[in-house]
Amino acid sequence: MLQLHAPVVALMRDVARNVVMPRYQNLASSEISEKADADDLVTIADKESEIRLAEGLAAILPEAGIIGEEACAADPSILDRAGDGLNWIIDPIDGTGNFAAGKPPFGIMIALADAGTTLAGWILDPISGRLCHAMLGGGSHIDDERVQARESGGALPIAALAVYFMTPDERADIALRSQDRFALVDIPRCAAEQYPRLVLGQNDVSVFARTLPWDHAAGTLFLNEAGGRCQRLDGTAYVVGDMRRGLLGASSPRLWDMAAELLFR
């Protein structure tokens, strides 16, 4: 895995510099469209970024398949093989809604998975250049520094709850369960930002309803390898290709157990 790190990072930084950032705050209305799923945008930068990333990753590791967000939007059957064999998982721009609105945060996310197990993950912030990355069994790093997840230390745990893909009843239930138990904060609508917040002590708990692999493969590995915990609501591991809903992340196992009990039991 280590020999893959440098070429993957070089590719991501090249795409961020030459494809993504030139389009940031520089999109024509005709270059933004809505996908079939409501509240899900795509831009010309997403499409161009995925093409460049897919070509580069195929050259780095030709034996791996490619599971890209935009390719799956065009052909949903591609997602059916996400848990089979060795695959690159690509989110060409995570947080497209923010990117299209000309505001941060947004990021590029890449993971390498084998038979559903994430082996390595990379999360790049194109604006700041911050790179979060992890390898299975190798810990988590931000740029060149190894990091350990830490709690915020607030009087109440800080919770960022992504409830916009929940049903109205589910949203009402989680709001009631959260009352006076968590300090609720706005979500960034960008998993590439939310996972670092859990590691860096900015947030303690996060709930995700939709768990598509390009949004979560890299982030779950990064949080778990940093000593936090990200698992399904029943306590089982997140597996690429498992299309169940619901994922709970926390900056420590202690907070994960507490949040699971309060919010979902």
68 within 8 A of 92, measured Cβ to Cβ: yes
Classified as helix, coil or strand, 184 is: strand
The structure tokens listed for 47 are 């499409």
Q: Are strands 140-142 and 145-147 parallel, antiparallel or unpaired?
A: antiparallel
| CA separation for the pair 233, 247 (Å, rounded) | 6
Residues near 200 by beta carbon (within 8 Å), at least 6 away in sequence: 147, 150
pLDDT value for 167: 78
pLDDT value for 265: 76
The structure tokens listed for 11 are 């590719």
Q: Residue 115: left (phi > 0), alpha (psi -120 to 50), or beta?
A: left
DSSP letters spanning 87-125: EEEEEEEE-HHHHHTT-S--EEEEEEEETTEEEEEEEE-
Classified as helix, coil or strand, 233 is: coil
Digitized pLDDT (tens) for each residue of the chain, 265 residues in all? 779 999 999 999 999 999 999 999 999 999 999 876 656 899 999 999 999 999 999 999 999 999 999 999 999 999 999 999 999 999 999 999 999 999 999 999 999 999 999 999 999 999 999 999 999 999 999 999 999 999 999 899 999 987 777 778 887 888 888 888 999 898 999 999 999 999 999 999 999 989 999 999 999 999 999 999 999 999 999 999 999 999 999 999 999 999 999 998 7
39 within 8 A of 100, measured Cβ to Cβ: no
pLDDT value for 244: 92
Q: How far is CA 67 from the centre of its chain?
A: 14
The CATH code of domain 2-146 reads 3.30.540.10
pLDDT value for 175: 81
- In the annotated binding site, the residues are 69, 91, 93-94, 215
Classified as helix, coil or strand, 256 is: helix
Helix (H) or strand (E) holding 183: strand 183-184
pTM of the model: 0.95
The CATH code of domain 158-264 reads 3.40.190.80
- In the annotated binding site for Mg(2+), the residues are 69, 91, 93-94, 215
157 within 8 A of 205, measured Cβ to Cβ: yes
The single-letter DSSP state of residue 203 is: -
Q: How far is CA 227 from the centre of its chain?
A: 17
Cβ count near 181 (within 10 Å): 15
Residues near 214 by beta carbon (within 8 Å), at least 6 away in sequence: 67, 68, 69, 89, 90, 91, 94, 109, 111
In the chain, ranges of CATH 3.30.540.10 domains: 2-146
240 within 8 A of 82, measured Cβ to Cβ: yes
In the chain, ranges of CATH 3.40.190.80 domains: 158-264
